[in-house]
Structure 1
């Protein structure tokens, strides 16, 4: 299993018997933290190479820190695209979401519409604008 997870971190597809695990990994609680950690695995060899560069330890550590910050930035920036790609590769719906978060979102929407019924009426009464005809 650890080698499967490393392969998964590098983008490999897991066996179909692990589809439920993949769905939970990509949409379950703490999926963002897991994504950021998983996104660091491919960079570990680069971090190790930086530690062998000549120079003071603080300088090499600074290089690693900069690389970690940059990789975290890009990992977070493309999180949704990577999540969708992994879902599709594992034969799961591209728009799969966390059921708890979807329920909370629906509850917030219902509360808002109950507090502001005019917003729903104005949205449904407005005629849709044809594509390419915006002002």
Structure 2
């Protein structure tokens, strides 16, 4: 892989829903399956919300009304963004040639080992046989 990450202009295009060149295919897979994938999704959502919020803050009128519009827009925008987070991730992967379900499967496999370790610690701590 010649380029590991897209440049800032490409990343903004990607955040807006654009498709990156195929040389970034592995980076896209990492982007939606990394441990920090939810934070990455939040950053992409912020790129979509920032221009709207900026325009609303610049409209004429009382500051409290403009501020309330921005707060409401951010709440609704992030709500819908996070409600469809997995669908959005799978759509990004499909755009870059991965079959649907790839992201969810990779995230579940990565999480399974950690969850098994947690389960074993729970059993060792709370499921001991009663002492005589």
> Which of the five TM-score ranges fits, normalised by the shorter chain?
0.7 to 0.9
Instruction: Give the deviation of 1:82 after TM superposition.
Output: 0.7
TM-score, with length taken from structure 2: 0.74
1:80 matched to which residue of 2?
86
Q: Which runs of 5+ in 1 are unaligned?
A: 115-135
Q: Map of 1:29-108 to 2, 5 A cutoff?
A: 29-96=35-102, 97-98=106-107, 99-105=109-115, 107=116
Question: 2:33 and 2:50 mapped to 1: Cα distance?
Answer: 25
TM-score, with length taken from structure 1: 0.72
Query: Is 1:28 equivalent to 2:38 in the alignment?
Result: no
- How many residue pairs match? The answer is 112
Moved over 4 A (4+): none
Instruction: Give the deviation of 1:47 after TM superposition.
Output: 0.8
Structure label with greater radius of gyration: 1
